[in-house]
Amino acid sequence: MTIRRTVLKVFMAGAVAATLGSGAQAQEVVKVGLILPMTGPFASTGRQIEAAVKLFLAQSGTTHGGKRLEVILKDDTGNADATRRIAQELVVNDKVAVLAGFGLTPLAMATAPIATQAKIPQIVMAAATASITEASPFIVRTSFTLPQASEPMADWAWSNGIKRVFTVVTDYGPGIDAETSFANKFKAAGGTVESVRVPLRNPDFAPFLQRVSEAKPDALFVFVPSGIGAQFMKQFVERGLDKAGVKLIGPGDVVDDDILNGMGDVAVGAITTHHYSAKHDSAANLAFVKAFEAANPGVRPNFMAVGGYDGMRLIAEALKATNGDASGEKLITAMKGASWESPRGPITIDPATRDIIQNIYVRRTEKVGSDLFNIEFATIPQVKDPVKARK
Ligand code: PHB
């Protein structure tokens, strides 16, 4: 595969004026290397995060702590070798103070040794395997973890009369996290679980769905990464499972807001647990969705966008807290314990783990007018990543 290494764009105009020095004090620039899958099967994640980062800077300005933030966006196509090389180039050639983005777990893991060695913050805005934050003391996460979202699903399923569950997950870090955290909790409650894993690249759900249609479990628990849900739903309908009375449950990635409307009525009634819905009922979210949709006509923000928006805010607030000192250790210290109201609800960066503490909501996919939305109907407040909380 050929890998595109081009700098796609530097976000903020005015870079030239500042570098040339517009008067007595030219403003110092702090560079953020934003590495995202902008092409390939996970491009929706890249597009969502790019749009949200831009929105944050348009709303809050680029000057924070007296420094001007400049974002350099690069496309890693979702390939970990490309991420690693791009991260290295951003550190060595561009002298970025922060690395950010990371659309998939292998891409975040490939960059961790670079962040550690360069002592610069690596802000994980998307990837969600629990162990990622343990790969470097310079990683801080603004997305979520799969155990954080999946354990509450086990509680909901058991207390709602579900006894037999089949799980299907994508066979890599976040899928394995989703499967094991759900299954352990659900079995401890008394339920039975059968599990199958499908490959990340070119997944074929058909043989597995055939087994499910024969076994008729009470529910099918699904994790597929953001952007892949539509493919899954299509095969779910083709196997007639929408008519077989098998309830669809899981973390919210399968009914991600970016593609939900394209799924049709098959998604209606799915019960998922997650940290963000575009229909989250708060003034902060209403304002966020309105501004995002105004800047990106026809695109609804999903949970990836919120991870990007909060990630950029975390960088800006940390720079403000250090009075513009962009050394990695100072920024990380400032990020620990940071807390505010996000479009998803109240969030805090856990100072002990550098992971995010946030509400997890139980949602039902419903039709609102002619559009599909995940409607939150219960809240589990301020959930920590349970894997690290147990250690
Ligand atoms: C991941 O690779 O960590 C990942 C990607 C997409 C998701 C969740 C996790 O929706």
The pLDDT value given to residue 18: 43
Report CA(93)–ligand 1 centroid distance (Å): 29
Region of poorest pLDDT, from 8-22, 115-129, 142-156, 365-379: 8-22
- Each residue of 364-376: pLDDT tens digit? 999 999 999 999 9
User: Would the CB of 225 count as within 6 Å of ligand 1?
Assistant: yes
pTM of the model: 0.94
Report CA(226)–ligand 1 centroid distance (Å): 6
Burial 216-233 (b: 16+ CB within 10 A, else e): ebbbbbbbbbbbbbbbbb
Q: Which of 105, 255, 273 to mutate to test the pocket of ligand 1 (most atoms within 8 A of CB)?
A: 105
For 306, the enclosing helix (H) or strand (E) is helix 303-321
Region of poorest pLDDT, from 60-74, 94-108, 228-242, 255-269: 228-242
Q: Is the pLDDT of residue 3 over 80?
A: no
Strand partners, 349: 356
CA angle, 105 as apex, 77 and 273 as ends, to 5°? 115
Q: Is the pLDDT of residue 2 over 50?
A: no
Region of poorest pLDDT, from 16-25, 206-215, 348-357, 359-368: 16-25
Q: Which two tokens stand for residue 197?
A: 């894993």
Confidence of residue 348 (pLDDT cuts 50, 70, 90): very high
